[in-house]
Amino acid sequence: MKHQTKVFGHRGAKGYLAENTLESIEKALSFNVDGIEIDVHVCASGELVVFHDFTLDRMTNGTGEVGKHSLLELQTLTVNGGYQIPTLVDVLSLINKNCILNIELKGKNTAVKTCEIVEDYVKNHGWNYKDFIISSFQHTELENAFQINKKIPLAVLTKASVSEAIDFAKTIETNIIHPNFALLTTDNVKLAQSQGYQINTWTVNDVDTILRMKNYGVDGIISDVPDKI
């Protein structure tokens, strides 16, 4: 482990460069992060693309739903600042086992293809399962991932309740919880950890909150500005 509290770059290093781009991920790597969080969707031609929103309008010169465009169409678009939408495979090539990759299953039906790619990178490209965390707010996607391959580390995202996340985590046999920082107290962090759960919290950007989360003893912090942790 590189840091006592694991440092994860959020959507790469969103605080510095356009989120979920190779350049943003490269920036996070330059900060020697322990991990990088990205979001994935399945596009109309079936590939997994790295993009946060369900629609193209906020972050690109395109419009409409990500899932209704082919990869070729998405690759002609410009992400704000002059970047391109990468695929999950592009991101894996760039990271090249240098840190953990936290893949958030954002879009529908993302579990099957994500698990296929993770398995391929473990079997054929020298990655280990522990180099990955697949997270999601969508219980169905996590359940699908759990059914497909029980070796891939899964994490339950929540902005509602730590205890509900733990209840669901039991059903998919994981001990990793990704709660929004506003849900955490020193007591619920201690209690969860005493029950064997790891807590990686998001999205923690200001120095006071970073310090508070460190004092709670969280296992990891996901931040737009990972160099501040």
Interface positions with ligand G3P (CB under 6 A): 10, 37, 39, 52, 104, 135, 157, 178, 202-203, 222
| Distance in angstroms (rounded) separating the CA atoms of residues 71 and 56 | 13
Least distance in angstroms from the C-beta of 49 to Ca ion: 14
Three-class secondary structure of residue 20 per DSSP: coil
- How far separated are the first and last CA of the chain, in Å rounded? 15
Least distance in angstroms from the C-beta of 124 to ligand G3P: 27
Tokens in use for 30? 């330059």
Residue 7 partner contact from Ca ion, ligand G3P, none using kind-dependent CB cut-offs of 5 to 8 Å: none
| Distance in angstroms (rounded) separating the CA atoms of residues 189 and 195 | 10
Residue 157 partner contact from Ca ion, ligand G3P, none using kind-dependent CB cut-offs of 5 to 8 Å: ligand G3P
User: What residue ranges bind Ca ion (CB under 5 A)?
Assistant: 39, 104
Least distance in angstroms from the C-beta of 64 to ligand G3P: 20
Residue 59 partner contact from Ca ion, ligand G3P, none using kind-dependent CB cut-offs of 5 to 8 Å: none
Helices vs strands, H then E, count in the chain: 8, 9
Least distance in angstroms from the C-beta of 91 to Ca ion: 13
Nearer to Ca ion, 23 or 104 (CB): 104
Q: How far is CA 19 from CA 28, 43, 62, 211, 225, in A?
A: 11, 18, 16, 24, 12
